[in-house]
Chains A and B, each alone.
Chain A
Amino acid sequence: MTEWLLDGLLVFTLLMTASATLVSRDLFRAVVLFIAFGLVMAACWVRLDAPNIALAEAAIGAGLSGVLFLDAVSQLRRGQTRKRSASADQSPEAGT
Chain B
Amino acid sequence: MKAWFATFVVLAVCVAFTGLLAVTVWDIAQTPALVQLPAMVAEKLSESGVKNPVTAVLLNFRSYDTLLEIGVLVIAAMTGISMARTPTLEDPELRTSNELLFALQRWFVPLMLMVAGYLLWAGSDRPGGAFQAGAVLAAAGVLMRLGARPMNFLRPGILLRLGLVLGFAVFLVVALASAFAGEAFLDYPEGWTKVLIVTIEAVLTLSIGMVLLALFVAGPVNEYGEEDDPV
Instruction: Please tell me which one of the listed residues A55, A67, A82 contacts residue B119 in the complex, with CB atoms under 8 A apart.
Output: A55
Contact A59 B219 (CB under 8 A): no
> Is B135 positioned at the interface, with any CB of A under 8 Å from its CB?
yes
Instruction: Please tell me which one of the listed residues A55, A59, A60, A79 contacts residue B127 in the complex, with CB atoms under 8 A apart.
Output: A55
Provided the pairs A52-B128, A67-B142, A86-B228 are in contact, do residues A60 and B216 lie with their beta carbons within 8 angstroms?
no
Provided the pairs A52-B52, A56-B135, A79-B223 are in contact, do residues A67 and B216 lie with their beta carbons within 8 angstroms?
yes
Contact B138 A71 (CB under 8 A): no
Return chain B residues, CB-CB under 8 Å to A67. 139, 142, 146, 216
Provided the pairs A52-B52, A55-B132, A64-B138 are in contact, do residues A71 and B219 lie with their beta carbons within 8 angstroms?
yes
1/0 per residue B129-173: CB within 8 Å of A? Answer: 101100110110010001000000000000000000000000000
Contact B132 A63 (CB under 8 A): no
Contact B219 A72 (CB under 8 A): yes
Residue on A nearest B142 in the bound complex, by CB = A67
Q: Decide if the interface of chain B is mainly helix, strand, loop or mixed.
A: helix
Residue on B nearest A60 in the bound complex, by CB = B135
Residue on A nearest B119 in the bound complex, by CB = A55
1/0 per residue B106-136: CB within 8 Å of A? Answer: 0000000000000100000001110110011
> Is A91 positioned at the interface, with any CB of B under 8 Å from its CB?
no
| B positions within 8 Å CB-CB of A | 52, 54-55, 119, 127-129, 131-132, 135-136, 138-139, 142, 146, 212, 215-216, 219, 221, 223-224, 227-228
| A positions within 8 Å CB-CB of B | 51-52, 54-56, 59-60, 63-64, 67-68, 71-72, 75, 78-79, 82-83, 86
What 6 A-B pairs come out closest when comparing CB atoms? Answer: A51-B127, A59-B135, A55-B132, A52-B54, A60-B135, A79-B223
